[in-house]
Amino acid sequence: MDHLIALAAEKIAAAAHPVSFSGAGLSAESGIATFRDSADKDALWANFDPQKLASQEGFIANPALVIEWYNQRRKTLADAVPNMAHHTLAAFRGWTHITQNVDNLLETAIQESGADSSTVLHLHGTLLEDHCNAGCGYTEKVDLKAAPSLRRCRCGDYMRPSVVWFGEALPELVMQSALHQTENADLMLVVGTSAQVYPAAGLIDIATDKGADVIVVNTEASGVTGANIVELVGPAGEIMPQLLRRV
């Protein structure tokens, strides 16, 4: 493992346009449940049906249930703090951070380090905001500790979390920016994602296909090999600080 960390650190130090691409595993050590980590007994999709809770059909069938489920997750997030993996990404100054996560822990870590957190691109939206389900354009910031129950927008339709459900398009400008950054990247650090959900996971394919170095940090080995891929197996909160020390 030590030689792999050294190799990955060498690649990071040499990169001119590095980006990170993260998923739920990045926030797992902050107490935020993953979706489909087989080692995580609290993994969300092991205990809840994604079609009922993270789809337009599910919301229409039982909007109050969906809002209450998101509000529970918001309460957990309100008490969570960034872990060493977030702090390590924050220390990589000048990077673009593409994330599938709907929490704000990476921004918090970046702000705590004194840097500008607008470099974080949220492909699947955020728990910190609601918008009108009819798409009238109305949005509201949400207090994580006191998120409102099911309520209506001023246009009459329901308000909902500003996250991307299955079957919905990713925010267009964010996706465009992530694509642009990935196409220009010479290194992608992939942290804590099962890379099963598209189009987000397609960014890893783009980076790999164009010959960028790809460093994967995950508790489970993916088995993917290639000349440009370095896989670091273990908890991100332990591996990432080791990487940083070597860069």
The answer to whether residue 175 forms part of the interface with ligand BJW (CB under 6 A) is no
Q: Give the closest residue to 5 by CA, choosing from 231, 236, 237, 187.
A: 231
Choice from 89, 144, 153, 175 touching Zn ion (CB under 5 A): 153
Region 154-193 residues binding Zn ion, contact defined as CB under 5 A: 155
Q: Does 25 bind ligand BJW (CB under 6 A)?
A: yes
Contact indicator for 64, 217 with CB cutoff of 8 Å: no
9 or 132: whose CB is closer to Zn ion?
A: 132
By CB under 5 A, residue 138 contacts Zn ion: yes
Q: Among candidates 219, 189, 214, which has minimal Cα distance to 86?
A: 189
Please choose which of Zn ion, ligand BJW, none residue 132 contacts, taking the beta carbon within 5 to 8 angstroms, the exact cut-off set by kind. Zn ion
What Rg do the C-alpha atoms of the chain give, in angstroms?
18
Site for ligand BJW in 192-211 (CB under 6 A): 192-194, 196-199
124 is a catalytic site residue: yes
Picking from 83, 98, 61, the residue whose alpha carbon sits closest to that of residue 178 is 98
Q: Which lies closer to Zn ion via its Cβ, residue 41 or residue 154?
A: 154
74's torsion region: left (phi>0), alpha (psi -120 to 50) or beta? alpha
Smallest separation (angstroms) from ligand BJW to the CB of 218: 4
- Determine, following the binding rule CB under 6 A, whether residue 68 of this chain makes contact with ligand BJW: no
Choosing from 122, 124, 131, 180, the catalytic residue is 124
When CB distances are held under 5 to 8 angstroms depending on the partner's kind, the choice from Zn ion, ligand BJW, none that residue 182 binds is none
Residues 118-137 close enough to bind Zn ion by CB under 5 A: 132, 134, 136
CB 217 within 8 A of CB 191: yes
Residue 113 CB partners (closer than 8 Å, separation 6+): 87, 90, 91
Measured from the CB of residue 58, what is the shortest distance to Zn ion in angstroms? 20
User: What number of CA atoms fall less than 13 Å from residue 99's CA on the CB side?
Assistant: 26
The single residue among 164, 212, 216, 243 that binds ligand BJW, judged by CB under 6 A, is 164
| Contacting residues toward ligand BJW, per CB under 6 A | 23-25, 28-29, 34-37, 54, 100, 102, 124, 163-164, 166-169, 192-194, 196-199, 217-220, 235-236
Report the interface residues with Zn ion, using CB under 5 A: 132, 134, 136, 138, 153, 155
